[in-house]
Amino acid sequence: MCGIVGYVGRRDAVAILIKGLKRLEYRGYDSAGIAVFTGDSGFACKKKKGKVNELSRILEQEPLTGNIGIAHTRWSTHGVPSDTNAHPHLDCSQEIAVVHNGIIENFQELKDTLIIEGHTFLSETDTEVIAHLIEKFYAGDLEDAVRKAVKELHGSYAICVTHKKEPYRIVGARLDSPLVIGVGENENFLASDIPAILEYTRDIIYVQNNEIVSIDLDSVSVKSLDGMKIEKTPEKINWDITQAEKGGFPHFMLKEIFEQPDVLRKIINTRLSGENIHFDELNLTEDDLVKTRNIAIVACGTAYHAGLTGKYMLEECTRTPVWADTSSEFRYRDPIVGDDTLMIVISQSGETADTLAALREAKKRGAKVLALCNVLGSSITRESDGVIFTHAGPEIAVASTKAYTAQLATLYLFTLYLARLKGALSEARIKELLSEFKRIPYLLEEILTRYKVDGNEIAHYAKDFKAYYEKGHTKSFFLYLARNINYPNALEGALKLKEISYISAEGYPAGEMKHGPIALIDENPWVVCIATKSRTYDKMRSNIQEVKARNGIVVAIVTSGDENIRSLGLNYVIDVPAVDEFFSPLLIALPLQLLAYYVALEFGYDIDQPRNLAKSVTVE
Ligand code: M6R
């Protein structure tokens, strides 16, 4: 995790670096720091526990000026969040400064050796060994010293390094953590992610594993670990920084929830020409796909819930056996995966370490790996055999919303594409489903229009929950129940709520209630029941009755116009428009997201940056 940024140019480096850090805070925000060359061979470093704003406050009191510098926003792995453990880390001579994203797995051995050799360490971090290793190898050429140092490292890293004796350049390197170069005019940038620098340049070079880069005022060089020059042409970024800003919403999460109709429209426009479904970047042949005997879907968190929904879609429409697993479990259970397996990995960021490791494991075992991913140029897309971009646009809030529905939508289209290839579904049914799919953006809009106004019903339910909680029901929690293709949505609703409101929440297949969870039901739990019209509707009605009979509070998500279900004495009702049951997860996701949002809002928590989390989890 962590975000790094570097700037060499003629402008105020501090302002650029701080702005860059703020745009990278989704990667971690427990401490931040900056090192800049302040002129006349001066070199200053400031670090502070807390968010980037804390560092800004320090810089207001003790300003720094300079045109070259590096900066960091941290998500702790080794060492508690503190001023001392914040980056940049310096060597013994205080001439070398390093910011790092990743984990150095052999840091303890390196540290022990460096201590014996006379180096003094100040922090508990793994990163500090990098500064001392570079110091050890430095003989007048920073790039050379960095090259020698990274050869000693095991683990993952993206680093930016400066040396007081070379105050005109920044050297960077990467292995399994993202790093991009922004190419400007008389200025150049390094960063973990594009939004940090997009305001200044659209010309981006993706740094690859085992590359060493060096940027100064008017040149950029990329070399291999053996020192061979690598020619790179910058790619033009065609999305806008406003897409990465709040656009008038109080939180990124709310903005991203409201972007979902447009995301769906974009996916439809990109993937459908009439009734033809196409994935131009797929890079897997029809033969590869047709000969697939089984499909494995692997992902983490929200992306896993999308994948689990994909299992229901793919099995129903392609009649191919599918299993879905979390990446961290897949890896260690000796999975049965071979050359007749299509492994689908799903990731918003494309940098999730567990998913990357699972992907590598599956490839080792001969599977073809297809990535469904939101971030162009990310590690997962580069290492997979094939890729389908999910086109959600930059997602900033830690709680994933639009990336989830984009993953679902992409899985729906891929399912129908594969069903057509395999001849597993009649052409008439495919056409019927595609025509229903094209209505989805309008249906999402209908839901959002209804819940847009201040004081909307879901916001009101959240208020009631807080009041109930404060009236002494502090044992209250949320239970999410659903069946069939909406069961993963129950898991996702619970994840969303606990992630941002810190209230205990659990998702369960409603049929499993009687096998244990029903013991939890009294007046404390708020039970969110997904009870829209479906083949399991009657069963869900029975589950609602079971909850009501035990004094549970029911929040039911129902199909608009279903008056009948209200006779069950529901405490709270959320309507969603009628849609083919197959696509209902896309609609139901929205009220689940909104409920989590409004509960967290009531409790006054930091919605976009919940505690202990980071947007991109690049550690295993
Ligand atoms: O970038 P990825 O999609 O691979 O991330 C996977 C999970 O870390 C992510 O979905 C996480 O669960 C979200 N914070 C959920 O809102």
Q: Is residue 619 part of a domain?
A: no
Q: Residue 180 is part of a domain; what is its CATH number?
A: 3.60.20.10
Mean local confidence (pLDDT), 257-281: 93
Instruction: Reply yes or no on whether 615 is catalytic.
Output: yes
| Same domain membership, residue 232 and residue 133 | yes
Q: What is the mean pLDDT of the chain?
A: 94
pLDDT given for residue 476 in this prediction? 87
How many independent structural domains does the chain possess? Answer: 3
- Indicate whether 265 pLDDT > 70: yes
Least confident of 29-33, 148-152, 422-426: 29-33
- Indicate whether 376 pLDDT > 80: no
**Chain-centre distance of CA 40, in angstroms?**
42
How many residues in total does the chain contain?
Answer: 620
Q: What is the DSSP string of 198-219?
A: TTT--EEEEPPTTEEEEE-SS-
Q: How far is CA 369 from CA 306, 337, 374, 381, 479, in A?
A: 17, 11, 16, 10, 35
- Indicate whether 243 pLDDT > 90: no
Confidence of residue 612 (pLDDT cuts 50, 70, 90): confident
Least confident of 365-374, 501-510, 512-521: 512-521
Confidence of residue 80 (pLDDT cuts 50, 70, 90): confident
Which of 47, 155, 160 shows the shortest CA–CA distance to 97?
A: 160
**Chain-centre distance of CA 459, in angstroms?**
26
Ligand 1 geometric centre to CA of 118 (Å): 42
Task: Find the residues whose C-beta lies inside 6 A of ligand 1.
Answer: 300-303, 347-349, 352, 355, 398-400, 495, 499, 616-617
Residues 87 and 69: their CA atoms lie apart, in Å, by 13
What is the residue type of 587? Answer: L
Instruction: Ligand 1, residue 302: give the atom nearest the CA.
Output: 10
Q: Is residue 382 part of a domain?
A: yes
Instruction: Ligand 1, residue 616: give the atom nearest the CA.
Output: 1
Ligand 1 geometric centre to CA of 419 (Å): 28
Helix H or strand E segment including 421: helix 402-422
- Could you give the 3-state DSSP secondary structure of residue 569? coil
| Same domain membership, residue 268 and residue 148 | no
| Same domain membership, residue 22 and residue 73 | yes
Q: Is residue 356 part of a domain?
A: yes
Long-range CB contacts for residues 78-83, cutoff 8 Å, separation at least 24: 78/103, 78/107, 78/124, 78/125, 78/126, 78/127, 79/123, 79/124, 79/125, 80/124, 81/30, 81/31, 81/49, 81/50, 82/31, 82/49, 83/31, 83/47, 83/48, 83/49
Instruction: Ligand 1, residue 400: give the atom nearest the CA.
Output: 16
Structural domain harbouring 265: 252-438
Final residue belonging to a domain, choices 244, 275, 306: 244
Mutation test residue for ligand 1: of 29, 300, 351, the one with most atoms within 8 Å of CB: 300
Q: Is residue 617 part of a domain?
A: no
| Same domain membership, residue 261 and residue 226 | no
Ligand 1 geometric centre to CA of 614 (Å): 9
Final residue belonging to a domain, choices 413, 438, 463: 438
Instruction: Ligand 1, residue 404: give the atom nearest the CA.
Output: 10
| Same domain membership, residue 527 and residue 471 | yes
| Same domain membership, residue 487 and residue 415 | no
Confidence of residue 75 (pLDDT cuts 50, 70, 90): confident
| Same domain membership, residue 539 and residue 404 | no
| Same domain membership, residue 59 and residue 189 | yes
Instruction: Ligand 1, residue 348: give the atom nearest the CA.
Output: 3
Mutation test residue for ligand 1: of 329, 344, 348, the one with most atoms within 8 Å of CB: 348
Q: Is residue 333 part of a domain?
A: yes
pTM for this predicted structure = 0.81
CA Rg value for the chain: 26
- Asked if residues 615 and 301 have their Cβ atoms less than 8 Å apart, the reply is no
Which of 377, 389, 393, 333 shows the shortest CA–CA distance to 358?
A: 333
pLDDT given for residue 329 in this prediction? 94
Structure tokens at 530: 């997904």
Ligand 1 geometric centre to CA of 348 (Å): 7
Mean local confidence (pLDDT), 117-136: 97
Q: Residue 480 is part of a domain; what is its CATH number?
A: 3.40.50.10490
Q: Which of 20-34, 363-377, 390-404, 586-600 has the highest mean pLDDT?
A: 586-600
Q: Is residue 326 part of a domain?
A: yes
Ligand 1 geometric centre to CA of 480 (Å): 19
| Same domain membership, residue 389 and residue 492 | no
What distance, in Å, lies between the first and last C-alpha atoms of the chain?
10
Ligand 1 geometric centre to CA of 615 (Å): 7
Mean local confidence (pLDDT), 403-407: 98
| Same domain membership, residue 485 and residue 371 | no
pLDDT tens sequence across 410-459: 999 999 999 999 999 999 999 999 999 999 999 999 999 988 866 799 99
| Same domain membership, residue 123 and residue 22 | yes
| Same domain membership, residue 232 and residue 349 | no
pLDDT given for residue 581 in this prediction? 97
Instruction: Reply yes or no on whether 300 is catalytic.
Output: no
Which residues share a beta bridge with 492? none
Structure tokens at 250: 């109080």
Q: Is residue 615 part of a domain?
A: no
Q: Is residue 618 part of a domain?
A: no
Mutation test residue for ligand 1: of 27, 325, 330, 352, the one with most atoms within 8 Å of CB: 352
Mean local confidence (pLDDT), 490-495: 98
